[in-house]
Amino acid sequence: MVSAEIGVEPGGDAEALGRLIRAGRSAEVVELADSFLSTAPDAAEYAQILLMKLGALINVGRVSECPEVADQAHAALGRCDEPALLGEFHALAANVADQQGSLDGCVAHLVRGSRALELVRVHDHPAAMAWLDLAVTYSGVGFHGHAVNALHRAQAIARSAGLDPADFTHPEIRIRVAVALDHKGDTAACVSILSDVLNCVGPADVAQFELPYLGYAMARLAALGTPSSCDPLPLLWADVSPFGEAVELRTLGEACLAIADGQHTTALARLEEAAGYTRAMGAAEVPRLRAIALAAAGDHPAAHLAERAVMKVIARDADRLHGLFVEGVSARLDHDELRRIVTRYADEAHTDPLTGLPNRRHLERYVDELAERGTYGAIGVADLDGFKTVNTVHGHLAGDQVLQRVAAILSRTLRTGDFLARYGGDEFVIVLPMTDLDEATRLGDRLIAAICADDWSTLVPGTPVTLTVGWAELNGRTGLVAAFRAADMVMLRAKVAQS
């Protein structure tokens, strides 16, 4: 559960929303936030209220509504110099991207959040809470080392600022570390960490919504043959509504207790109910508990198959990270190529700030120069298909990332001497000097294939990114305006034909 407690002045509207979130009343925050926006005294509090609404939407599971609020919050943060709030924004946006299945977008926000928080010089509540929410998201995604480091940063700032340590204990992060180690075969380390957590932290030392995690640590130890002296059931059933992960922890915890009691059939039945539970402890936890239950029941062949399922989940996650690493290297090379291109356009008035490509003004100047030299060629208008859906589903920040990646793909696919500009929105213009329409069409097919071949599922899952291109002749007789209109009409007719 994210906190989104942004550290505001007592008595303000944002502070009232913060109290509701701490009381587990996130649904009310969603309903009240918009009315509070109209009375926000400055851009900082306006952004704080939007961030609280964003955190509340995450808490109540209304993720489809988050991108629009995230766009509004990002725009508001652009009007104030608040690195702690910016770090908090990226922590929440990373959580949303993760729930939408965008590992690429999630990691990008996590890195940006860390960089923003490194700029914070004041040890106060906003900085501590931002580091904490960053830690929670790192943990949920499975970057446990980064999660622990971010948690330590939050706790150090909290101690320095004299804040309540219970708000920053967050045992869930170390509990996830322990469970992840068990998934990888290091059960002894898992038992050691879980035991240490329970020795250091009790129910009175944590926020209310962390109680089910403590209960789960006790139950998990019991399933591994190390029962606790305390009864975990009251903690597993603590009222932390609308904290959705509590339901997962309760079901998995009851399966663990059934394993410990030798009720293997009951445990396996509870695990069948938990088949889709992945948020609290990861996708490998259900097959791992199934393996423990089957081994305890003496069905070792079935337990072996369940362990194979655990390894399959771990290997899949590793493959995703390897793919992200390769894409990161590719993106870096594309960025280097774009930088080389941008050096040719030193005048910022002629450069698109988002992609670094020449803009419309530069395009006009370039075509005028071709006309003066009497050079013929082809002009192409390239437009992304369904780009509005990307912005609607994933938000404008993800849309900007798509445009940057498209610019990089087009740049590396074009030939030396070809000219690429961003005309506006999701529209790009390509000028191919000394090229006839047949050759331009073949090159256009390569551009379309390059965009289609990219793995967009890691950045904007569920919203495929494709390209349509129209071509027209460009010469001294037609001029830029007429050639552009002709190419645009060809592109629009192609879109109609595809639909």
pLDDT per residue as tens, the chain (499 positions): 565 554 444 346 777 887 787 777 888 899 999 888 988 888 888 999 999 999 999 888 899 999 999 999 999 999 988 999 999 999 999 999 988 988 888 888 999 999 999 989 888 988 999 999 999 999 988 899 999 999 999 999 999 999 988 889 999 999 999 999 999 999 999 999 999 999 999 999 988 889 999 999 999 999 999 998 899 999 999 987 767 788 999 999 999 999 999 999 999 999 999 998 988 999 999 999 999 999 999 999 999 999 999 999 888 877 766 666 666 655 555 555 555 555 555 555 678 888 888 999 889 888 888 888 888 899 999 999 989 999 999 999 999 999 999 999 999 899 888 999 999 899 999 999 999 999 999 999 999 999 998 889 888 999 999 999 999 998 877 778 899 999 999 999 999 998 7
CB 421 within 8 A of CB 360: yes
CA distance 256 to 217: 10
Instruction: Say yes or no: 50 and 196 in one domain.
Output: yes
Picking from 306, 336, 371, the residue at the C-terminal end of a domain is 306
**How many distinct structural domains can be found in the chain?**
2
Contacts of 185 (CB under 8 A, 6+ apart): none
Domain around 362 = 344-498
Picking from 289, 306, 323, the residue at the C-terminal end of a domain is 306
Q: Are strands 419-424 and 466-474 parallel, antiparallel or unpaired?
A: unpaired
Picking from 277, 306, 335, the residue at the C-terminal end of a domain is 306
3-state SS assignment for residue 377: strand
Predicted confidence at residue 380, as pLDDT, reads: 96
Instruction: Say yes or no: 408 and 474 in one domain.
Output: yes
Predicted confidence at residue 157, as pLDDT, reads: 95
Predicted confidence at residue 378, as pLDDT, reads: 95
Has residue 29 been placed in a domain? Answer: yes
Has residue 8 been placed in a domain? Answer: no
CA distance 267 to 289: 9
Instruction: Say yes or no: 372 and 290 in one domain.
Output: no
Has residue 235 been placed in a domain? Answer: yes
Has residue 317 been placed in a domain? Answer: no
Predicted confidence at residue 10, as pLDDT, reads: 39
Instruction: Say yes or no: 136 and 246 in one domain.
Output: yes
Predicted confidence at residue 406, as pLDDT, reads: 94
CATH, residue 452: 3.30.70.270
SS3 content of the chain, % helix, strand, coil (to 5): 70, 5, 25
Contacts of 149 (CB under 8 A, 6+ apart): 135
The size of the chain, in residues, is 499
Predicted confidence at residue 325, as pLDDT, reads: 63
Predicted confidence at residue 471, as pLDDT, reads: 96
CA distance 135 to 129: 10
Instruction: Say yes or no: 223 and 354 in one domain.
Output: no
Instruction: Say yes or no: 358 and 217 in one domain.
Output: no
Side-by-side strand order, sheet with 377-385:
419-424, 427-433, 377-385, 466-474
Has residue 415 been placed in a domain? Answer: yes
Has residue 313 been placed in a domain? Answer: no
Instruction: Say yes or no: 82 and 200 in one domain.
Output: yes
CA distance 132 to 147: 9
Q: Which token pair is 363?
A: 């395009």
Predicted confidence at residue 343, as pLDDT, reads: 55
CA distance 297 to 291: 10
Rg of the chain's alpha carbons, rounded to an integer? 27
CA distance 187 to 225: 11
CA distance 22 to 56: 10
Instruction: Say yes or no: 285 and 349 in one domain.
Output: no
Residue 126 neighbours by CB distance under 10 Å: 25
> Taking the mean position of all CA atoms in its chain, how far away is CA 235?
30
CATH, residue 140: 1.25.40.10
Per residue, what are the HEC states of 436-464?
Answer: CHHHHHHHHHHHHHHHHHCCHHHCCCCCC
**CA-based nearest residue to 454, from 498, 381, 404, 491:** 404
> Taking the mean position of all CA atoms in its chain, how far away is CA 461?
11
Predicted confidence at residue 237, as pLDDT, reads: 94
CA distance 203 to 247: 18
